[in-house]
Chain A
Amino acid sequence: MIDPAYRKKMVVVEGSYAVAHSAKVCRPNVISAYPITPQTHIVEHLSQFMADGEIPNCEYVNVEAEFSAISALIGASAVGARTYSATTSQGLLLMHEALFNTSGMRLPVVMTVANRAVSAPINIWNDHQDAIAQRDTGWMQLYVEDVQEACDTLPQLYKIAEDNEIMVPGMVCMDGFILSHVYEPVVLLEQDLTDNFLPPFQPEDILDPEDPKTFGAFASPDTYEEFRYLHEQAMQKALPKIEATAKEFEEVYGRYHGGLIDGYMLDDAEIVVMAMGSILGTVKDVVDKYRAKGEKIGVLKVRSFRPFPKEQICKAVKNAHAVVVLDKNISIGTNEGALFTETKSCLYNSKVRVPVIGYTIGHGGRDIPVESIAKVIEETKKVAKSGITIESQFMDLKEELL
């Protein structure tokens, strides 16, 4: 039951509008973005806010390409501005080189990624291949389940990224179309609550003629490795900060979407389904049906893919009889999705011994019906009983097209 007072605050708006509103109340100083489906509506709404004078002390840089969008934010962030962008797919790929550069210079740029498949063949619908391809760029990646979480994660991520102990950029990854174009009831972030929750950006080092500093220097083999180490250390510091910030957010706004991970019917689960993003809603529906029949199925939502919560994942699955990982991406050449690979990797060096299988699903916006999720659960039940026969596979391939 939703509290009637809370229900009163809810509005039905498009996901993109809600996200743009969130970005606005985070009080960015510089926004720079380039349109690409299905991110477009986010930047259009932000442009309208700008045109209506609703974002004070903010410049919108209408760039000629995504590569310049992220580059402009590198410059802006180095001057001490809070910065925002949104992109997806080819746009995100075009940013690739500069993504490393942003994080290497430890500039806490925050961006929404409306996840979409990558070309070729060209396809505008959702999967996670674009963001997964950026997993080693040194950015944080938080995957969200619904529109409300896409909104609520933005101020959280700014707070984490801008922590002087961390100073690492981050992406809020939301499923393109499924979340960006859906109309669902949400509570739009309140300006006053957000101002309380998210302090102004106050970096220790900025480009300032009063106190000249050098950004983006040249490092030889003598010094380069330590930069990488410190970057990794910062990501490790982000792990508890992500948890703490989610809880702090809950205290202020009354909503919690999980910290690094989140469980659903997980405590006594014998079979665990792991996934990231909006698919979790469907999975939970299917699990509800199993629970109604008395079967102990649970869901493990992975919210933070970078930093990767190894310990939390090991702990969450330690009592399971079998785990299945659903990945909306594939690392071609391994026949596996990235979450699957990394889950196995962290279990191997732990004391947790549980069989894990993987499905790579929903490529290019392919629908994932409840029946398929149920089939996956049935397969995993077999694994729990008699061991792994097939480790990883594509879901619902159309044999007639092959």
Chain B
Amino acid sequence: MSKTAPKTYITSGHSGCAGCCDAFAAKFTLMGAGPNTIVINPTGCLEVMSTPFPYSSWQVPWIHSLFENAGAVASGVEAALKALGKKDDVKVVSIGGDGSTMDIGLGALSGAFERGHDFTYVCMDNEAYMNTGVQRSSGTPFDASTTTTPAGKVSFGNPRPKKNMPAIMAAHGSPYVATTSIGFPRDMIRKVKKATEIVGPTYIHAQAPCPTGWGFDTSKTLEIAKLAVETCLWPMYEMENGEITQVRKVKNPRPVEEYLRAQKRFKHLFTMEGGEEEIKKIQAIADWNIKHFELQ
């Protein structure tokens, strides 16, 4: 980034793992949203590592309530700002993990979007429950090994594909839904900025590879994130009022195998009998993305 890069509003010195994806996600989110922001953070790695009392990494007002209620807390924050005549100056942004967003907190988030509260929800999707030790979420990809969907003699890991969360949020009538990745900071910052400037409930779904949970070297977080996009397993697009309006093209998609091979969570696909067939299924997911989102 150039020297004029926006301030991050989150200090270093937190207790996240080296190369922590959530720290990147939070940083890029605040770089996009700016200082006049109230952050709502459900329970998860980011919350735990950034606020060991009496310390705090947050240079913006920040609230953590529970694992499953960020959407509702954000609704209340927004409503209160309105009632107190402060809403025009202040942005409301929630940053939550895939577990709190796509699973346990989906009801509260759906309610908030349906009611049309003016806030931005950022899902930092590290594709499992990292804070409790890498258990499956509905954001966990097909065939990933987690502690609750471990690969074993008769299992290739998680048997289900990822939930299509952006589509769900767009179906709520959200004016702006976008996917992004912490591997593309400028893209993420731009999209968060855009989302927070739009009136109404907006949603950003950011892929955030976790070195600890996925099993790769701590220096490679951004590299792995880029690889997900380049293999077309993580399409990046924007939706305005339910329609796809922008897609990040991938000129020469790389084979998914490159992405899978780089991570321990897919290691079994290269050692188990039948693994090749499984890799083909994952390639088919990438191929579907290429076609569906017109990535080329």
Contacts and interface: CB of A to CB of B under 8 A. Distances in A.
Partners in one complex: yes
Interface of A: 29-30, 32, 57-59, 61-65, 67-69, 71-81, 83, 97-98, 101, 105, 206-209, 212-220, 223
A81 B80 contact: yes
Interface string B61-100: 1111110110111111111111111100110000000000
B84 A29 contact: yes
Max chain A Cβ within 10 angstroms of own Cβ: one of B48, B75, B81, B107: B75
Interface stretch (B30-38, B180-188, B225-233, B255-263): B30-38
Interface stretch (B108-116, B140-148, B152-160, B202-210): B108-116
B58 interface: yes
B239 interface: no
Nearest to A78: B63
A209 B112 CA distance: 22
Interface residues of B, number: 48
Given A76-B77, A79-B77, A98-B66, A71 B72 contact: yes
A220 B52 contact: yes
B73 A212 contact: no
A196 B75 CA distance: 31
Contacts of B90: 209
A217 B75 contact: no
Nearest to A214: B56
Contacts of A105: 65
Max chain A Cβ within 10 angstroms of own Cβ: one of B71, B73, B77, B108: B73
Given A207-B61, A208-B61, A59 B52 contact: no
B121 to A, nearest CB: 13
A218 B115 contact: no
A59 B66 contact: no
Contact of A79 (B54, B65, B72, B84): B84
A82 B110 CA distance: 25
B40 interface: yes
A79 B80 contact: yes
B56 A68 contact: no
A59 B83 contact: yes
Contacts of B47: 218
Q: What 7 A-B pairs are tightest by C-beta distance, nearest first?
A: A75-B76, A72-B76, A64-B111, A71-B72, A68-B72, A71-B69, A81-B80
Max chain B Cβ within 10 angstroms of own Cβ: one of A71, A206, A217, A218: A71
Contact of B79 (A59, A64, A217, A223): A59
11 contacts: A30-B83, A57-B84, A59-B79, A61-B75, A71-B65, A75-B77, A78-B63, A78-B77, A214-B56, A214-B62, A216-B64
Given A75-B63, A209-B60, A61 B83 contact: no
A75 B65 contact: yes
